[in-house]
Structure 1
Amino acid sequence: MFSRIAKRSFSSSAAQNYKVSVLGAGGGIGQPLSLLLKLNHRVTKLALYDLKGAPGVAADISHIPTDSKVEGFTPENDGLKNALTGTDVVLIPAGVPRKPGMTRDDLFNINASIVRDLASAVAEHAPNANVLVISNPVNSTVPIVREVFKQKNVYNKNRLFGVTTLDVLRASRFLSEVVGTNPANERVSVVGGHSGITIVPLLSQTTHKDLKEDVRDALIHRIQFGGDEVVKAKDGAGSATLSMAQAGARFAGAVLKGLDGEKDIIEPTFVENPIFQNEGIDFFATEVTLGPEGVSKIHGLGEISSHEEELISKAKEALVKNIAKGQTFVTEK
C-alpha cells in the first residue's frame, strides 16, 4: 500500500512561504516539535503560543540559522490572536501528559476544555487554516474541534486532522525489530483511531504477512500500547513527547508539501471519513492524499486479512463511544 509513496513526483516550482502556529509550544511535545518545525524550509514564520514559556522557546530556537522568523506569544496583549492571524497550519499539542496507570480517556476531562477553547480561537482568527490535533485523546478531541467549528460556521472537513503518525512510526520500528530489517524500509499502514485497540496496523499489506500468530499478536499489542512503555520508563515524569514531536513534524511536513502542490503525498490520519459513517462512525484513520485544499482523497482499506477485519470491528465499537464523548462535551455544554 505504501509503495505509492516511492512514486511521488515533486513540484518544480519553488516552495511557497507558510506560517505555522504551535499551540502549547512550551510543553514536552511543543518544544521539540517547534525545534523540528524550525528546520523545515517551508516554514518561514513560526508562531509559538503557550500560557507561559513560549517566548523563551522562540528566543532559543530563533538562533538556529534557517530562513524563518520565530515569535513567542502568551495570553497577554492578544497573544493567541496574533499567533493565529494569517497562519496556514495550526498544531495543537496543548494539554497535560499521561501518567502511569492513566489511559488516554483519563485525560479527557482535563484536555477537552483546553482543546475546546483553543479551537474556538482558531475558528475566530484562522478559520481557513489546516488544523492538526495532537492533544489526547485524539479520538475525542478531533470531534470536539469539529463541533466548535460547526458552531462557528467555519468547519471544513478537508482541513481537520487527528495526528496518528506516531502509530505509524512505532509500527515501522517494532516490525523491523521482529524481522531484523532497517525500519526506514518498513512501511506499515495503520488505520482506525489513536488509542489502544482502536489502533490497527495492517501487517498483511507488508512483505511480512506470514508472521507466526503469536509473534503477530504480540507485535500488534505492542504497537497498540507502545505509549505505555514510555510512560512506565519515564516513571511518572511524562509520556511520549520526543517521538510524538517527530510524528507531528513529519505529518505537518506532509501537509505543507500538499499545500505546496507536491503530488502523491500520502499519510494515514484521523479525519472525517465516509468509510463507516453508515455505522455512526464519523471519524476513522486511513491513508489520505494531501493537497492544496488539505485532504484531496481518502483511500479505502484495501485488501485486509480476516484477523484485521476482527480488529477493525473491535476498533469501531470503541470509536463510536470515543467520538460521541467528544461531540457531547461540546453540544451539551
Structure 2
Amino acid sequence: MKAVVAGASGGIGQPLSLLLKACPLVDKLALYDVVNTPGVTADLSHISSIAQIEGYLPADDGLKKALTGADIVVIPAGIPRKPGMTRDDLFKINAGIVKGLIEGVAEHCPDAFILVISNPVNSTVPIAAEVLKKAGKFNPKKLFGVTTLDVVRAETFVQSITGEKDPAKTVIPVIGGHSGETIVPLFSLAKPAVKIPEDKLDALTNRVQFGGDEVVKAKDGAGSATLSMAYAGYRFAEKVMKAAKGESGIIEPTFMYMPGVPGGEEIAKETGCEYFSVPVELGKDGAQKAHNPIKDISEYEKKLLQACYDGLKGNITKGVEFVANPPQK
C-alpha cells in the first residue's frame, strides 16, 4: 500500500505523516509539499517502522514522482486563515492548490483513493470532482471529503455526559457538511444510546459545529486545529486502507458525491444536495453503500438540517463554479 501526503510540511501534514509512517498498513509513504519536504522526510525516515519514505518538492517532476503508483492520496495542503484575510481570499488560494494537486492525481494515479482535508471541504470536494470529470477520471466511490474531526469531537464532547472511559466507543453519526451550521451531529442515533439533558443539547451541538473556533482562540493567532485534524484524517485513512485490504463492516461518515454512491441517489433527492456527508460503508473499491439516517432523526435535528441545506448548497455551487470559471490571474 503506497500512501501519499500532499501538503506534508504543514501543520496538519507533519503529524499526519508521522501517523502514516507508524502505520503497519503502509509499505511506502511519499511526502509532497512546496517547501521543507526533505527535512520532514529525513526526520521521519529515522523511525523504525515498515514504511519506506520518500519526500519531494515541485522541482524535477516531484509531484509526478510522489503520486505515481499511489493507492491512497491524502490532501491536507493549503493555508490556514491569517489575520485580515477574508474567507473568500482563503477560498481562492486553497481552491487553486487543490485544483492543481487533483490535476496531478488525474494524470498519475487516477485509481487511487483520494481523501480531501483541505478547507473548505464543502467546496474543495466538488472542485476535485469537477477536475476529475474534466479529465475523464472521476470515480465517485473513491473521492472522500474527510469529516471525521466532527465525529471525533462529538464522541469526545459527549463523554462528560456519558462518563464512558473511552469516548470512541460511543458511535455518533455526524451528517451534512464540514463547517459551522452545515455540521449536524445526530446524538439521537448514538450507539449505545445517550440521554442528553435538554438544557445541554444546544451548547453541545454548537460546540461540535464550532469546535474549530475554540482551538483557534486557544492558540491565540498561532494556528488552528492541526493535531486533532491530523488524528481524524489518519483515523479515516486507516479505515479506507483496512477496507481496501478486505476488512468488512467498516462504516464512517464522509462527504461524497451522493448520486455516484449506491444508496446515495435517495439522499441527494431528499436533501437537495449532490454532495453530503452520511455514514458510508467502505469496501475494496471505496464506497459500497451510503446509509440514510434522516428518516430516524429527532425534530431538533430536522431543524438543524434545514440550516445545513441552505449553507451547503451555496458552498457546493461555489466549488463547481470555481472549476467552470477559474479566476483570472
**Structure 1 match to 2:215:** 230
Q: Which moved more, 1:232-241 or 1:99-108?
A: 99-108
Secondary structure at the aligned position of 1:43 is classed as coil
Residue 177 of structure 1 deviates from its aligned partner by: 2.1
Q: Find the aligned partners of 2:57 and 2:89 in 1 and give their Cα distance.
A: 27
What is the CA deviation profile of residues 20-71 of structure 1, one whole-angstrom value per residue up to 9, with x for unaligned ones? 0000000000000000001111100000000011121111111111111000
Matched letter for residue 105 of structure 2: V
2:262 corresponds to 1:277: no
Secondary structure at the aligned position of 2:60 is classed as helix
Q: Is the 8 A contact 1:20 1:46 kept in 2?
A: yes
What is the CA deviation profile of residues 303-332 of structure 1, one whole-angstrom value per residue up to 9, with x for unaligned ones? 110111111121011110000000000011
Q: Find the aligned partners of 2:273 and 2:237 in 1 and give their Cα distance.
A: 25
Matched letter for residue 297 of structure 1: K
Summarize the Cα distance change of 1:284–1:125 in structure 2 as closer, same or farther, 3 Å threshold.
same
Q: Find the aligned partners of 1:68 and 1:211 in 2 and give their Cα distance.
A: 43
Q: Find the aligned partners of 1:105 and 1:266 in 2 and give their Cα distance.
A: 34
**Structure 1 match to 2:128:** 145
What is the CA deviation profile of residues 109-133 of structure 1, one whole-angstrom value per residue up to 9, with x for unaligned ones? 2211111111111111111111000
Secondary structure at the aligned position of 1:33 is classed as helix
Secondary structure at the aligned position of 2:81 is classed as coil
Q: Is the 8 A contact 2:146 2:236 kept in 1?
A: yes
Secondary structure at the aligned position of 2:288 is classed as strand
Q: Which moved more, 1:269-278 or 1:116-125?
A: 269-278
Q: Find the aligned partners of 1:177 and 1:134 in 2 and give their Cα distance.
A: 28
Higher-RCO chain (CA-CA 8 Å, sequence separation at least 6): 1
2:192 corresponds to 1:200: no
What is the CA deviation profile of residues 186-242 of structure 1, one whole-angstrom value per residue up to 9, with x for unaligned ones? 221100000000100100012455422220110000000000010111111110000
Secondary structure at the aligned position of 2:27 is classed as strand
Matched letter for residue 186 of structure 2: L
Residue 86 of structure 1 deviates from its aligned partner by: 0.5
Q: Is the 8 A contact 1:100 1:231 kept in 2?
A: no
Q: Is the 8 A contact 1:29 1:93 kept in 2?
A: yes
Q: Find the aligned partners of 1:103 and 1:187 in 2 and give their Cα distance.
A: 35
Q: Find the aligned partners of 1:210 and 1:179 in 2 and give their Cα distance.
A: 8
1:325 equivalent among 308, 313, 318: 318
Q: Which moved more, 1:53-62 or 1:99-108?
A: 99-108
Residue 184 of structure 1 deviates from its aligned partner by: 3.0
**Structure 1 match to 2:237:** 252
Gaps of 5+ in 1: 1-17
Q: Find the aligned partners of 2:288 and 2:68 in 1 and give their Cα distance.
A: 25
**Structure 1 match to 2:304:** 311
**Structure 1 match to 2:262:** none
Q: Find the aligned partners of 2:196 and 2:107 in 1 and give their Cα distance.
A: 50
**Structure 1 match to 2:170:** 186
**Structure 1 match to 2:158:** 175
2:280 corresponds to 1:297: no
Q: Is the 8 A contact 1:189 1:202 kept in 2?
A: yes
Q: Find the aligned partners of 1:208 and 1:45 in 2 and give their Cα distance.
A: 40
Matched letter for residue 52 of structure 1: V
Summarize the Cα distance change of 1:318–1:201 in structure 2 as closer, same or farther, 3 Å threshold.
same
Summarize the Cα distance change of 1:233–1:99 in structure 2 as closer, same or farther, 3 Å threshold.
farther
Q: Is the 8 A contact 1:104 1:136 kept in 2?
A: no
Matched letter for residue 305 of structure 1: S
Residue 106 of structure 1 deviates from its aligned partner by: 5.8
Q: Find the aligned partners of 1:158 and 1:226 in 2 and give their Cα distance.
A: 29
**Structure 1 match to 2:278:** 286
- 5 Å-filtered alignment, 1:115-130, equals 115-130=98-113
**Structure 2 match to 1:98:** 81
2:105 corresponds to 1:112: no
**Percent of pairs identical after alignment?**
56
1:60 equivalent among 40, 43, 52: 43
Q: Is the 8 A contact 1:261 1:291 kept in 2?
A: yes
Residue 99 of structure 1 deviates from its aligned partner by: 4.4
Summarize the Cα distance change of 1:104–1:29 in structure 2 as closer, same or farther, 3 Å threshold.
farther
What is the aligned length? 316
2:209 corresponds to 1:217: no
